[in-house]
Structure 1
């Protein structure tokens, strides 16, 4: 298989990411709808006894040694680790790059569909009566972000505050983890691959940026994206493959076995022919 061209890949990734970012801004949704969806998720988790966000958020708020690194991780790792693994695959595992890239892109676009259909208020933006603390606002003096998600100070208006369902922080981390586990060659690389998505899930809940069900939805989106990417790649490969009957039709005709001419055929100048009895009368006696 021909190795992808780096400039074509960079352009493709840039276009998809621009569409994703622009789409997030265009589908912000109204506040009341987003808050309603957030509260519905929270009530469902409380009914099931799986509202892990509350204890994690209290822990991260009360222990700055956990909360501050978690804020840095939430604000930066998905921008650093995901592209780094794409580059690593492109350079070191080119045979697997195309499938991995397609899986990531399809899943990202599916996440945008989720933001459109289900704008969701994250825990940190709910009324204080629900018991959540926005750790990124609480510890904003330690980082470049302000009180509006992970955006740089003063640029919070450039983000969609209600793009919580599904959590692509968790989805992208899962993709990174699978790549490291499958294609890493050392036990340390595989251990990092297993730990990274789990740590990310804890971080997004502890910082009150996502509910547990957001994380579950992020995993589900990646699963669906993997299936759709496989179908898409098979369809594209099928269109580019020549059918056997077409190959036979296009093959040039073989004249005289490719190197011989039959009696009576006009010989190609300089072509040797197989001697016959007519050519050597003595051999026929």
Structure 2
């Protein structure tokens, strides 16, 4: 856990909120839609629930009946438990995510990825193993639907923990694994690992344990469901580092491709400018420069002749002429004139 939690500090800061919110919304929509698509038929789901219950009885790990009987006969326990089951799952987890975003940004990306991957693994479990919770087993199984028993106290209906009239929008056969327990475990680990006060760490220990008691006492999950939810979170944690490495690799390739395209455009522009300069230089060498006097016009000077021999009036292409000093061609003409005058004097 330490190595995984330290990764985002080296990878960079937290993601931008305008990309993070749509991503979380997409995962939650997939979670809700997946639960609806993987409903399964009631007969198969009930059979899976009975099989789980028989395995628990064989292993002598079946505290669900005792807890459910206690919560049903004691409204002081049953009513708060129903409120906790119907609300905390959707309130505490987002609150911990926001807390991470604000207070522990270096760890946010890793822990958010862990939660998302575990949720997707849970959806696979819902699809492959639709399971009826204890409250939906036949009457002789010894379970009572606490949510239906105390529905007059809350907003949930008789058929599910969803608001009244919206029971058809939830999958009641998504008991295995228990993501109520999985998400609570994630919150507990985050609060324990990254909370600095004793109160925060105590909440990190108490919250998952409370949710385990609530989901069994309200007859919404078996103990094996809770253990499966824990295993799902463990698998999500194992997948977190490879997933982050893969995402970083894809992001790096995309950035490298963008840089290559940008560099290609810059190089193409540089070549065009270089070609333009070469054409301008060729114009100076092969002919007259733009704006220069035409050949034979007053003040025009011919370029160096083809035989590379200079004569009076010729100049080298683009040869600088300093102010106050005669050009090379003019100096040669003056020297020739002096020689002619000296010869005549003799």
TM-score (ref. length: structure 2): 0.69
Q: Contact 2:195–2:201 (CA<8 Å) still a contact in 1?
A: yes
Q: Contact 2:115–2:183 (CA<8 Å) still a contact in 1?
A: yes
CA distance in 2, matches of 1:153, 1:2: 42
Specify the SS of the correspondent of 1:85: helix
Q: Is 1:107 the equivalent of 2:118? A: yes
Aligned to 2:248: 237
Counterparts of residues 36-51 of structure 1 (less than 5 Å): 36-51=47-62
CA distance in 1, matches of 2:13, 2:67: 47
CA distance in 2, matches of 1:196, 1:225: 20
Q: CA deviation at 1:3?
A: 3.1
CA distance in 1, matches of 2:46, 2:250: 46
Specify the SS of the correspondent of 2:84: helix
Measured against aligned partners, the alpha-carbon deviations of 1:150-199 in whole angstroms (never above 9, x if no partner) come to 10011101110100000000000000000000110100100000111011
Specify the SS of the correspondent of 1:121: coil
Aligned to 1:161: 172
TM-score (ref. length: structure 1): 0.83
Q: CA deviation at 1:231?
A: 1.2
Aligned to 1:138: 149
Aligned to 1:116: 127
Aligned to 1:31: 42
Measured against aligned partners, the alpha-carbon deviations of 1:5-37 in whole angstroms (never above 9, x if no partner) come to 112111000011101111110110001100000
**CA 1:7–1:239 in 2, change beyond 3 Å: closer, same or farther?**
closer
Q: Contact 2:14–2:109 (CA<8 Å) still a contact in 1?
A: no
Aligned with residue 224 of structure 1, among 235, 238, 252: 235
Aligned with residue 175 of structure 1, among 175, 186, 211: 186
Q: CA deviation at 1:2?
A: 3.2
CA distance in 2, matches of 1:141, 1:114: 32
Specify the SS of the correspondent of 1:154: coil
- Please, what is the CA RMSD of the aligned residues? 1.2
Specify the SS of the correspondent of 1:148: coil
Moved more, 143-152 or 32-41: 143-152
Q: Contact 2:49–2:133 (CA<8 Å) still a contact in 1?
A: yes
CA distance in 2, matches of 1:125, 1:168: 18
Q: CA deviation at 1:241?
A: 5.3
Q: CA deviation at 1:234?
A: 2.0
Aligned with residue 201 of structure 2, among 185, 190, 205: 190
Aligned to 1:67: 78
Q: Contact 2:148–2:158 (CA<8 Å) still a contact in 1?
A: yes
Q: CA deviation at 1:236?
A: 2.4
Larger Rg: 2
Aligned to 1:267: none
